[in-house]
Chain A
């Protein structure tokens, strides 16, 4: 044993995942469970919230990326009026919200493991808030493109730049291009947001994805005939914190998400 963690990967084509209706505290939505996390692996759910003026303040037990691909999500802070493509990142057990969702809302909620759902109305849960937790946001429209050196026609922009811990990078690749990606020690979602791409020979539609984690380098991504715009969302060490355990809060959080979806 050399202590290396083997590569694990999950590939999801949204055309293969059924939609279903859900609700939490009267907030209604449609969702696709891309990855349930039931095997101890990642949890990825696509949500389309009906327009809602107040999605209650809550937290999850693991790190989380929310990738907004349609509609609007407005947090009270003036710097957090999210429009697609936008990313919202929160560390494990970091409360956020309330927020409102607008017409055409469409987002991916991405966890490295099952994250559960904890309403901040739960007073006991408030005692477990992560006081040093980070909340980061980034929007496509506020970032500049950079050429990718050595990759003709490829460009990228940082929504959450390197150095912040977790990262969010948009890659715009020309048609039929091979994109090498590094190992993802703490886990990385690679989401196709435009065009088409294939992972390990499997083509996925927009917004399909691959999740990779491990010390080994995953296979390169291949852009489709019309090129591909991808967003790469990398977790950092916070991804191994928290999670669903045997405690009361974990049980309640797991039940809450189960009830909702």
Chain B
């Protein structure tokens, strides 16, 4: 709750939820906000899927040559302005990728604790390493980087253990009225779209959440 003491915060961490899709470049740079919040505050980060292109088949779909190329150029320009370091490492995929397997893998990671490192690794696989995140092998590599059991994840995905749960998560995002990616819910306040970190800090502060270092020093 809003004015919890540091000790209470530790017992019942403040939830920060990010609704996103791995194929969205704004979500890729927006992932940094979750990483920053997790580093600076006592929070429980939760990544939820908002499926932008459910029509994309598992093997992916070609981009519309001119329209999408122009859009990618404009997006890259914006990213360069807003997140220059990330933008410098980014490579835009040559086809529209299917996110659904990655969403299922997130559920697997969530069941094993903190899914944040795994989601970051999936973003890197797509946007930095140029890999296809619809391939189980790519997701297993990401799992390994995040310290998860890659073999077990592979089995879970092949057996479709998380399919129904993922479908429900996608439906839940729609039902919650999520229309833009990324959308963040910080306690009781929503932040739609990419924003500066200072915005997140202000929203946290407004709900009585202090950064770890500060709340520690205030406790004495």
Contact bitstring A117-144, B, C-beta under 8 A = 1, else 0: 0001001101111010000000000000
B190 to chain A, nearest CB (A): 8
Residues of chain A with a CB closer than 8 A to B192's CB: 131
- For the complex, give the distance between the alpha carbons of A126 and B202 in Å: 9
Q: A120 and B74: CB pair below 8 A?
A: no
Q: A74-B74, A78-B70, A131-B189 are in contact. Are A98 and B199 (CB under 8 A)?
A: no
B159 on interface, CB distance cutoff 8 Å? no
Partner of B199, one of A56, A74, A131: A131
Q: A98 and B78: CB pair below 8 A?
A: yes
- What's the tally of chain A residues with a CB closer than 8 Å to chain B? 16
Task: Compute the total of residue contacts between A and B using a CB distance below 8 Å.
Answer: 41
Q: A57-B81, A131-B191, A131-B203 are in contact. Are A76 and B74 (CB under 8 A)?
A: yes
Q: B199 and A76: CB pair below 8 A?
A: no
Q: Which of B67, B75, B198 has the most CB of A within 10 A?
A: B198
Contact bitstring B76-103, A, C-beta under 8 A = 1, else 0: 0110011000000000000000000000
Q: A54 and B203: CB pair below 8 A?
A: no
Provide the main secondary structure of the chain B interface: helix
- For the complex, give the distance between the alpha carbons of A78 and B70 in Å: 8
- What's the tally of chain B residues with a CB closer than 8 Å to chain A? 19
Q: B75 and A127: CB pair below 8 A?
A: no
Q: B195 and A129: CB pair below 8 A?
A: yes
Q: A127-B202, A131-B191 are in contact. Are A98 and B71 (CB under 8 A)?
A: no
B89 to chain A, nearest CB (A): 19
B201 on interface, CB distance cutoff 8 Å? yes
Name B197's closest neighbour in chain A (CB-CB): A126
Partner of A78, one of B74, B196, B203: B74
Name B67's closest neighbour in chain A (CB-CB): A78
Chain B interface residues (CB < 8 Å from chain A): 67, 70-71, 74-75, 77-78, 81-82, 189, 191-192, 195-196, 198-199, 201-203
7 interchain residue pairs of minimum CB distance: A76-B78, A126-B198, A126-B196, A127-B202, A78-B71, A76-B74, A127-B198
Interface CB pairs A-B, < 8 A, 22? A54-B77, A54-B81, A57-B81, A76-B74, A76-B77, A77-B74, A78-B70, A98-B78, A123-B196, A123-B198, A124-B198, A126-B196, A126-B198, A126-B199, A127-B199, A127-B201, A128-B202, A129-B199, A129-B202, A131-B189, A131-B199, A131-B203
- Apart from A123-B198, A131-B191, list 17 A-B contacts with CB within 8 A: A54-B81, A57-B82, A74-B74, A76-B75, A76-B78, A78-B71, A78-B74, A98-B77, A98-B78, A120-B196, A124-B198, A126-B196, A126-B198, A127-B199, A127-B201, A129-B199, A131-B189
